[in-house]
Structure 1
């Protein structure tokens, strides 16, 4: 069972010096990295998942980290963003300027299906496979209603995509996979920000399934396309 952020503060941070709090911050950041690496491993899910799950622990560790940063400031510290945190802050600061999202995945034999979301005037989505283009209805599964531009962007924000690596590969875990599934994600902006591109080869971010659900994609559909 996970404790609340205030419970974490009372148990681990209250009365500590800023140096001690910074040590806790480093530990929380390491734990977040460890949890994401565990969930991104090709072997993840092959064994029984412990409770609370890595996903739950990741959520609450993020909350503890934010509370620890607050405590650090209250103790007189000035927090300096890491390179990763600067990248996250940049992505989040420009999220409202996203003009177009293109998400493509597939393989050599089955072709590559693209899911395109245009945000210049409301919310328009469609899919493309080879030369065929079809409209796409984006549904908020939790609320069981169509996404609006605002609710879609809020769901996108919750995925912490700014933390994602620029490239995902099984080689990171000592695996080499031939063929299989490749994917690419591109964000284009209306404010002059350079496009953000992320891609992968049979390897995915820890919350990739949640991302796919924004487009109504599930594993069954992927299997059919392959």
Structure 2
């Protein structure tokens, strides 16, 4: 992958607004394609890619930032799509998050519930048993600023509200349901995401915040 600065020199410098907008559309399509590929629940074996899809996604996001900046410099006014506006709204309120509740339930298992509470500069993680009693509780060894920065880098505002996979004779007996709810200290309404046997492309990284293996 090339640097954003080199991308600008090669693809954006001296271009018209229309040409830059074409680049923007192409980059957004590429981001969508990469996320769809990474979220494919039936793609058990992926062809080895170098750089990885995750790396490609990171740099394509950087190119998109550069393209939007170039578009503004060329006199254009970029209008956010509905999904982009929703993601931007989530990010704008991320430092007002007060509580994150993460629930997971497997068909043949009890549910697992994890709660992260944000109070001043203290981040507390609690794990609950099925009947609601606390199984364990401890303070995470990270500051609020660092924790929310890591959370913001997951681009959760871009997640779909629901993720689902088609059931077949094999996985109908192995259904895993999950739900995440974000609560805020300001007037921003709580946000929920969830799914059944399907997950956002970076779900493993998200679970790491809750110290889930």
Fold shared by both chains (TM-score > 0.5): yes
On the 8 A contact 1:138/1:215 being kept in 2, the answer is: no
Q: Which secondary structure does the structure 2 equivalent of 1:159 belong to?
A: coil
Q: How does 1:60-209 map to 2 (within 5 A)?
A: 60-121=59-120, 122-131=122-131, 132-137=133-138, 146-171=141-166, 176=168, 177-178=171-172, 179-209=174-204
Q: Tell me, which stretches of 5 or more residues in structure 2 are unaligned?
A: none
* Mapped partners of 2:25, 2:56: distance in 1: 16
What count of residue pairs does the alignment treat as equivalent?
208
What is the CA distance between 1:216 and its match in structure 2? Answer: 1.2
On the 8 A contact 1:138/1:214 being kept in 2, the answer is: no
What is the CA distance between 1:136 and its match in structure 2? Answer: 4.0
* Mapped partners of 1:180, 1:63: distance in 2: 36
Q: Deviations over 1:138-191 (max 9, x none)?
A: 76xxxxxx22222111110110000000000114xxx55424211000001111
Q: Deviations over 1:2-26 (max 9, x none)?
A: 0000110111111110100000000
**Compared with structure 1, are the counterparts of its residues 123 and 50 closer, same or farther at alpha carbon in structure 2 (3 Å cutoff)?**
same
On the 8 A contact 1:88/1:160 being kept in 2, the answer is: yes
On the 8 A contact 2:101/2:182 being kept in 1, the answer is: yes
Q: Which secondary structure does the structure 2 equivalent of 1:119 belong to?
A: strand
Residue number in structure 2 paired with 1:222:
none
Q: Tell me, which stretches of 5 or more residues in structure 1 are unaligned?
A: 140-145, 219-226
Of 189, 206, 209, 1:211 maps to 206
On the 8 A contact 2:116/2:210 being kept in 1, the answer is: no
On the 8 A contact 1:181/1:202 being kept in 2, the answer is: yes
RMSD value over aligned CA atoms? Answer: 1.5
What is the CA distance between 1:47 and its match in structure 2? Answer: 2.7
* Mapped partners of 1:107, 1:116: distance in 2: 18
Single out whichever of 146-155 and 61-70 deviates more from structure 2: 146-155
Q: TM-score, normalization: structure 1?
A: 0.87
What is the CA distance between 1:137 and its match in structure 2? Answer: 4.4
Q: Deviations over 1:83-117 (max 9, x none)?
A: 01100111011111111100011213311101101
On the 8 A contact 1:97/1:191 being kept in 2, the answer is: yes
Q: Which secondary structure does the structure 2 equivalent of 1:103 belong to?
A: strand
